[in-house]
Amino acid sequence: MEFPDPLIPGQLAQRYKRFLSDIEITGNDGAPVEITAHCPNPGAMLGLKEPGSDVWVSPARNPDRKLKYTWEIIRVGAHHVGINTSLPNTLVDEAIEAGRIAELTGYGNRRREVRYGENSRIDLLLEEPGRPDCYVEVKNVHLKRDETDGTGAAEFPDSVTKRGAKHLRELANAVEAGARAVMIYVVQRSDCDQFRLADDIDPDYAAAFADARHRGVEAICYACDVSPERIEITRPLPIIV
């Protein structure tokens, strides 16, 4: 996925009220100016909100939008990390189209945000005549507590997510009804070599994950290359349980 407009570099002043961030960028006259940007991430963002960090924002295309910028990327050490939780669905859709997710090839039709279960919507529904429908739930991953550079575990979730546990139960129900269900974790950073659940942060989610796997839900994880120009799913990561 290429960003449709060039991202604007800046320095993070603060992230607050979950969806707001103050960021200093360079104005048209060359002088620094502080803006308030939308923070498209409802999580705790552990390790991703240090004041003074290099960040990148996208300009709003809608001139009537209240917040004129969206925070997209932060630099952690030598690595870029994508913080926008709305992007992974598009990243997975593009990667399936390009054949970069081996576990999800062989389906001729893809639909997004399809209603299923008990008042839920599946991120992607894959369909192919002669094969069971495949329900794909996508989760964004940005947490890394291991401080080693270039290796270490990505973790999910970074805060309690009752909604995430519900999604796992819905996937398991779909499997028991005869469908295929896949939970895919998208790591928007390239400095990890494995993935694990943050069961100390949300033990209920970890229990729901174990139950869903037992009931036939598949789980896979893929990492991304992240830059201010593009974000792209590139390689699988092993899931450590």
The domain limits of the chain are 8-77, 88-240
Burial of residue 44 (number of CB atoms within 10 Å: 0-12, 13-18, 19+): middle
- Pseudo-torsion of CA 60, 120, 184, 94, nearest 10°? -50
8-77: CATH number = 2.40.50.580
Sheet holding 134-141, edge to edge: 109-116, 120-127, 134-141, 180-187, 218-226, 231-236
Instruction: Quote the pTM value.
Output: 0.96
Q: Is residue 119 pLDDT above 90, yes or no?
A: no
Can you tell me the mean pLDDT for 121-136?
A: 97
Q: Is residue 241 pLDDT above 90, yes or no?
A: no
Q: What is the per-residue pLDDT for 219?
A: 98
DSSP code at position 238: P
Q: What is the per-residue pLDDT for 35?
A: 97
Give the CATH class of 88-240: alpha beta
Would the CA dihedral through 105, 123, 97, 57 be positive or negative? negative
Q: What is the per-residue pLDDT for 28?
A: 86
- C-beta atoms surrounding 18 within 10 Å: 12
- C-beta atoms surrounding 146 within 10 Å: 15
Max CA distance (Å), the chain:
62
Interval 45-103: pLDDT, tens: 999 999 999 999 999 999 899 999 999 999 999 999 999 999 999 999 999 999 999 99
**SS3 of residue 95 by DSSP:** helix
Please give the share of the chain, as a percent, with pLDDT higher than 90.
93
